[in-house]
Amino acid sequence: MHMRWIAVGTLMLATALCFDHSRGGADDDIVFAGKVFTDLPDYGSIAISGTLTGDGIGYKNNTISISCYKDRRECYIASVEQIGPNQIGRMQNVDIFPIMKWNADEVVAVEDITELNCARITIVIERKSKTAQYVREPVNQTRPWCLKFPDPKVYRWTIEDAPGWKDMFGKK
């Protein structure tokens, strides 16, 4: 009986070693979808989804979806990230940001600030370039809970194709 389990284990190990792990390993073994931009001005909606990229991103292999609706004056943001080899983090609640600006050039939504926030998020969707900026700036840095993890840096991230998507389709 034990010999059979040893044989199965050996076969599994040999199979795993034969797979091509040259694409980058644990940081991108999960392939999220490529970037998509949708602007429907006649319906009062705009959306962008893809990978949040830039300095200071905790998990480089991630996916984010931002959908904004003019009549509701709100943007809905959902995201998930790869947290380890073949591991995806927990789905969080959808964030809802009020829209501060909606015109032919851009849509701007800003997270409401409470005394509990240590950072504020601003999203700027640029219609002509079909891009989005996700800006995180510190707030309430003197609050005791913000002093534990101080990060006075302003981060400006963009939404791009996922790393695995770029590898699959040869995009740089």
Which of residues 61 and 166 earns the better pLDDT score? Answer: 61
Q: How confident is the model at residue 163 (pLDDT cuts 50, 70, 90)?
A: confident
Which of residues 106 and 144 earns the better pLDDT score? Answer: 106
Domains of the chain, earliest start first: 24-169 (2.40.160)
Residues in the chain: 172
Q: How confident is the model at residue 30 (pLDDT cuts 50, 70, 90)?
A: confident
Q: Which of 89, 79, 72 lies closest to 134 in space, CA to CA?
A: 79
pTM: predicted TM-score of the whole model, two decimal places: 0.78
Q: Which residues are bridge partners to 153 per DSSP?
A: none
Q: What is the pLDDT of residues 77-131, one digit of tens each?
A: 999 999 999 899 998 889 999 999 999 999 999 998 877 788 899 999 999 999 9
